[in-house]
Amino acid sequence: MFEDGQCAIITRQAGKGNVIWMGSFLSLLYETTGDEETGAYLAGLLDATGYVDIERIEYQYSGQASRTSVVLRLLKSNGKKLVVANNHTDRKVTINIWFSQVSEPLSVLLDPYEGRVVQV
């Protein structure tokens, strides 16, 4: 809740999914400081929107880069999963993705400005 009593976050079921509307830039603290509690909260919101398959994601850059410089998508169709990863930085990045019920993480290495599709 905001100070004036208005809702800061609202949810709505839409078809088979959920819509979450946030009246703030919640990820700013995580992006600027790497605050673990904020990151865990934001990751928990993803579970409610269909990303229950992903337990954790880690990024390792060859230098300093913003966490928002890599775009990830998980696509699911006919029982198969694809990860689409795009690196929008001028640095190499390694992305490690831990999936539920899989012991080893999926590791994706991207060169600067490279994109890749990987079947899980």
pLDDT in tens, 39-68: 767 766 665 455 677 888 888 888 765 555
Other beta carbons less than 10 A from residue 69's beta carbon? 15
According to the model, what pLDDT value does residue 4 have?
86
Contacts of 28 (CB under 8 A, 6+ apart): none
Give the residue-averaged pLDDT of 9-28: 77
What's this model's pTM, rounded to 2 decimal places? 0.59
Residue 84 predicted with pLDDT over 80: yes
Q: What would the mean pLDDT of 12-28 be, rounded to a whole number?
A: 77
Question: Six-digit token pair at 15?
Answer: 């078809």
Mean pLDDT, rounded, for 63-84: 77
Which tokens is 56 given? 């954790």
Q: Which of 85, 108, 101, 95 is nearest to 53 (CA)?
A: 101
Mean pLDDT for all residues in the chain: 80
pLDDT bucket at 80, cuts 50 / 70 / 90: confident
Instruction: Assess whether pLDDT exceeds 90 at residue 17.
Output: no
Ranges of each domain in the chain: 1-52, 53-120
pLDDT of residue 68: 55
pLDDT in tens, 104-117: 999 999 999 999 99
| Residues 6 or more apart in contact with residue 89 via CB below 8 angstroms | 61, 65, 66, 69, 70, 112, 113
Distance separating alpha carbons of residues 42 and 36, to the nearest angstrom: 10
Query: What is the DSSP code (8-state) at residue 23?
Result: S
